[in-house]
Amino acid sequence: MPKNYLSINDISKEELENLLDRSAQLKADLKNGADQSNLLKGKSVGMIFEKPSLRTRISFEVGIRQLGAFPIVLSAQEIMMGGRETRQDVSRVMSQYLDMVMIRTFGHDVVEEFATHSDIPVINGLTDLEHPCQTLADLLTIKEHYGSFEGLKIAYIGDGNNTVRSLMLACTKLGVHISVACPLKFEPGKEFESEFTHVCHGVGTAAEGADVIYTDVWSSMGQEKEAQERKQIFSGYQVNTNLLEEFAKETAIVLHCLPAHRGEEITAEALKDHETTILRQAENRLHTQKAVMLHLLGA
């Protein structure tokens, strides 16, 4: 069976650390003008998008081309996976043409079923359950800023969604403390908790003494009908200047995986004050995607 990256739990602590190191090296090499086009020369990578995308689409496609491989982009309408053709059939057919597949979709069962029948590595580009590719970029950004993870506290404010679930799993592997503040009934899930995670309902409790403050949208893709109700439920879970000044460390950085809804989960002022770090976090998706692809293909 090929090695897949569907969840943070698909990799060991050592592999996680190696992926971050290799991401940093790929980034440095690219900045220094190194030619990386021989690393996956002659390979073909398929990308299936059942959800809209900006950063995932660009970072994967640019990364694939920079590594010398050929990208194939397929939308949900083009293949109608699970409708026109079963996931099993799509997976088996794509395995005959390609060397790897990345899928960005809704249900986590989609990537799991696809991977079960695949003869090539499968990457989870995002599901409703986890967002493991985003987590690598988050961790790389934090490590770049602080030099290491030792002694750091991460605070996540908002919905207990796919982004924070993957981050919690990664923090557990690395021994990094993360505190998550979310409304009642919007917790990430007990299966994502450990001795290094703390889930609470008070933003001040989570943000107290934090080195990193992280947030994400209150309503993710597929939750549009709930958006107005969620605005009321999450109204007290906003990253703003008062939260940062009262609770977080003075030197704390703010992360946001984007897109951002200014005036909801984060104020325009807080986003502007920390845009350099947030944009670096977005850029790092490119370098970490490349590291994942190289790792899965043994390159």
Give the tens place of pLDDT for each residue, 21-57.
999 999 999 999 999 999 999 999 999 999 999 999 9
The dihedral formed by the CA atoms of 238, 242, 244 and 247, expressed in degrees to the nearest 10: -100
Does pLDDT of 104 surpass 70?
A: yes
> pLDDT tens across 288-299, in order?
999 999 999 999
Q: Kindly state whether residues 271 and 171 are assigned to the same domain.
A: yes
Residue type, 167: L
Q: Would you say 204 and 246 are in contact if contact means Cβ atoms under 8 Å apart? A: yes
In a domain? residue 150: yes
Q: Kindly state whether residues 61 and 95 are assigned to the same domain.
A: yes
User: Of residues 1 and 99, which shows the higher confidence score?
Assistant: 99
Q: Kindly state whether residues 253 and 140 are assigned to the same domain.
A: yes
Q: Kindly state whether residues 182 and 193 are assigned to the same domain.
A: yes
User: Does the CA dihedral 29-30-31-35 come out positive or negative?
Assistant: positive
What pairs with residue 87 in β-bridges? none
CATH number of the domain bearing residue 261: 3.40.50.1370
Considering the chain, what is the average pLDDT of its residues? 96
Shortest CA distance to 135 belongs to which of 296, 240, 257? 257
Q: Would you say 71 and 56 are in contact if contact means Cβ atoms under 8 Å apart? A: no
Q: Kindly state whether residues 125 and 49 are assigned to the same domain.
A: yes
Does pLDDT of 82 surpass 80?
A: no
Catalytic residues: 104, 131, 134, 216, 257, 285
3-state helix, strand, coil in the chain (%, to 5): 45, 15, 35
Q: Kindly state whether residues 137 and 173 are assigned to the same domain.
A: yes
Q: For residue 227, what pLDDT is reported?
A: 82
Residue type, 243: L
284's CB contacts (< 8 A; 6+ apart) are 23, 27, 136, 137, 140, 141, 144
Q: Report the distance separating Cα 182 and Cα 160, nearest Å.
A: 6
Helix (H) or strand (E) holding 165: helix 162-174
> How many domains in the chain?
2
Q: For residue 100, what pLDDT is reported?
A: 98
Angle at 276 between CA 270 and CA 277, to 5 degrees: 85
Find the mean pLDDT for residues 58-62: 98
Q: For residue 58, what pLDDT is reported?
A: 98
Q: Kindly state whether residues 278 and 145 are assigned to the same domain.
A: yes
Q: Kindly state whether residues 89 and 172 are assigned to the same domain.
A: no
Does pLDDT of 221 surpass 80?
A: no
Does pLDDT of 84 surpass 90?
A: no
In a domain? residue 106: yes
> pLDDT tens across 225-275, in order?
788 899 999 999 999 999 999 999 999 999 999 999 999 999 999 999 999
Q: Kindly state whether residues 27 and 97 are assigned to the same domain.
A: yes
In a domain? residue 157: yes
> pLDDT tens across 124-157, in order?
999 999 999 999 999 999 999 999 999 999 999 9
Domain that holds residue 222: 132-282
pLDDT band at 2 (very low <50, low <70, confident <90, very high): confident
Q: Which two tokens stand for residue 236?
A: 């007290």
Q: For residue 223, what pLDDT is reported?
A: 66
Shortest CA distance to 182 belongs to which of 116, 221, 238? 238
